[in-house]
Structure formats: structure tokens, C-alpha cells
Amino acid sequence: VLSLVLSVPYRIHLIQQGKTWKDAHAYCRANHIDLATINSSVNMVELQNEAQKQNFSASAWIGLDTNINSWHWSFRNEMLGSFISWSTSQPDNWSGDERCVFTKNGEWSDAPCDTLLFFVCYD
């Protein structure tokens, strides 16, 4: 587990275990607070910089998903705010069931929630 302290009062944990979004969410809630909420460019840049320092280049689930009508963060079910970091042409719901979001290299993409990926928790 790799950790870093962000400018907001919580600590990010990069978990290098492949899990579905639902299982990653459950793991984060059991062991930390939740899947990470990345709601500012400062948070994203610091996460990206720390990931580079730790040679963490994999895709990783964050706490963003959709109920088809809107994107929201898993913690407190907060709506997606003004900060977004979508990759080009994302979100695209390409397979018709891409309701969960991962980050890679500072950009977000949607994917099927049952995909096994590393993930980012916080506490």
C-alpha cells in the first residue's frame, strides 16, 4: 500500500490488488473511509506525482460512478462538481454498461464495474 498526504485533510492509499469497483468500494469502506474523491486539480496532480514516484502506472478505480442519470462520488453520494479530468472522448459508455470510473495518468475513463483494477482509497 502506497500512501501520501494531500492538501486536503485526508490520506490517499494506492491499493495494488485487482478488484471490481464494488469490491474495491467495500474494501475501502472496511479499511479506510471510501474510494477516493478527486475533486480538484491539486488533488489530481499530487496523486499523479506520487504515483509516478512510486512507479504506479496502472489504471485504478476512484469513487466516481453513475446511476445513468448523473455522475456522483461514492462518499456521501455527492454529485460530480466543476472539476473533471475526463480522457478524450470519455465518458463514452462504449459497451453499454460502463458505469464506473478509473484514473490513469491523471485522466478519467468509464469502464464496466466488474473489471478487475487496482484502486485508490482515502482516510
Residue 4's pLDDT is: 46
Q: What is the mean pLDDT of residues 17-43?
A: 95
Q: What is the mean pLDDT of residues 3-28?
A: 81
Domains of the chain: 2-122 (3.10.100.10)
One-letter amino acid of 54 = Q
Q: Identify any residues that bridge with 72 across adjacent strands, giving them in sequence order.
A: 65, 79
Over the stretch 54-99, which tens digit does the pLDDT of each residue have? 899 899 999 999 987 899 999 988 899 899 999 999 999 998 999 9
Given pLDDT bands bounded at 50, 70 and 90, which one contains residue 53? confident
pTM of the model: 0.88
Given pLDDT bands bounded at 50, 70 and 90, which one contains residue 49? confident
Q: What is the mean pLDDT of the chain?
A: 89
28 touches 89 (CB < 8 A): no
Q: Show Cβ contacts of residue 46 under 8 Å, excluding neighbours closer than 6 positions.
A: 4, 6, 7
